[in-house]
Structure 1
Amino acid sequence: MTWQLGNGTAQLTNLSHVGIAVRNAEETAKLLSSIWNIGDPEVFDYYPQPEDMIAGESFAVRLVFVKFGPLTFELLEPLDDKSIWSKFIAEQGEGIHHVAFGVSNYDEMVDTLTAQGHPLLVAAVFNGCRWCYFDTSPGGTVIEFREEYPRASA
């Protein structure tokens, strides 16, 4: 079988993390740490203000970043019932929600997926960096673009 595939123009980007929607991030982190040596996770309670929202409505979520060697899992515990993650858990249960790619060409990537007709689900600013989710059906994958630039060494 030979498939005729397109020749996309976007460069392959850095896998930033895999986002997992959970009911209780602390309990999930404890479970993971009972199996693997994950070290101390980074924990943030994120309440974007209306001026931080690019698309979608404000929400509240606990973000827990857990390192597995070169791979990062982002545990997302909704702190309200308005977020995309609370809706995901209500409809599908806990599980993998999205795959995030760190990009330096954020605007180009957003333009590319928008031009292809993929719905922009939510977009905001976190710690000075823009991020967004696209529904990239078919395939059932939500893709996040996270604006990441090389940082100068200290």
Structure 2
Amino acid sequence: MDRIDNHNLVKIGIVVDDIEAAARKYAELFGIPMPKISVPDPDAPVTHTPDSYTLYRGEYVPARTKFANLQMGPVTVELLEPYDEPSPWNEFRQKHGQGVHFITFTVNGFERHIEFVESKGLPLIHKGEYGSGRYSYFDSEDVLGVVLGLQELGKKQA
């Protein structure tokens, strides 16, 4: 492998302080419907399985966040209001406040792409799987100006 196999941007993640206000303002500005805001139960027990987990800086964590997806042409803008617990989104908010946290590309061959990106000097910091897909973030802010995200949808590939 000598490159990431897809250069079509599919998602931009923006950390916000107030997801309801941010989502409402996007809807108002672009004349789109108010998106559904997903709010995980902060008191629900979290279990990790081989098909559903969140690994952040080497530890299994809940990594809960309120989120809303806005489909803006071919790109999804994902608004995230993180809970005050270990997660890449909360770390970003603590360090920078609100702002663009990540850009994501869809790939085939999730694990080999992780190995490739790490071989280029960008360590994996976050990885999650949720049954129908998986995603990862790399420590790339210092060289790319943003966290690089890769996702694979559907059945896990080699």
TM-score, with length taken from structure 2: 0.78
Query: Distance between the aligned counterparts of 1:132 and 1:32, measured in 2?
Result: 26
Query: Distance between the aligned counterparts of 1:130 and 1:121, measured in 2?
Result: 14
How far apart are residue 148 of structure 1 and its match? 2.0
For the aligned residues, what is the CA RMSD?
A: 2.3
Equivalent position amino acid for 1:138 in 2: V
Larger Rg: 1
Contact 1:62 1:78 in 2 (8 A): yes
Q: Deviations over 1:65-98 (max 9, x none)?
A: 0112222100011122322212211221100000
Residues 1:40 and 1:126: Cα distance change in structure 2 (over 3 Å): farther
Structure 1 residues 1-154: aligned runs within 5 Å: 8-46=2-40, 49-51=47-49, 52-56=53-57, 57-136=61-140, 137-149=142-154
Residues 1:24 and 1:108: Cα distance change in structure 2 (over 3 Å): same
How far apart are residue 18 of structure 1 and its match? 0.2
Equivalent position amino acid for 1:27 in 2: A
Structure 1 residue runs of 5 or longer lacking an equivalent are 1-7
Q: Deviations over 1:15-47 (max 9, x none)?
A: 221000011111101111121122242433357
Residues 1:17 and 1:46: Cα distance change in structure 2 (over 3 Å): farther
Structure 2 residue runs of 5 or longer lacking an equivalent are none
How far apart are residue 14 of structure 1 and its match? 3.3
Give the number of aligned pairs: 144
Query: Distance between the aligned counterparts of 1:46 and 1:126, measured in 2?
Result: 14
Q: How many percent identity over aligned positions?
A: 25
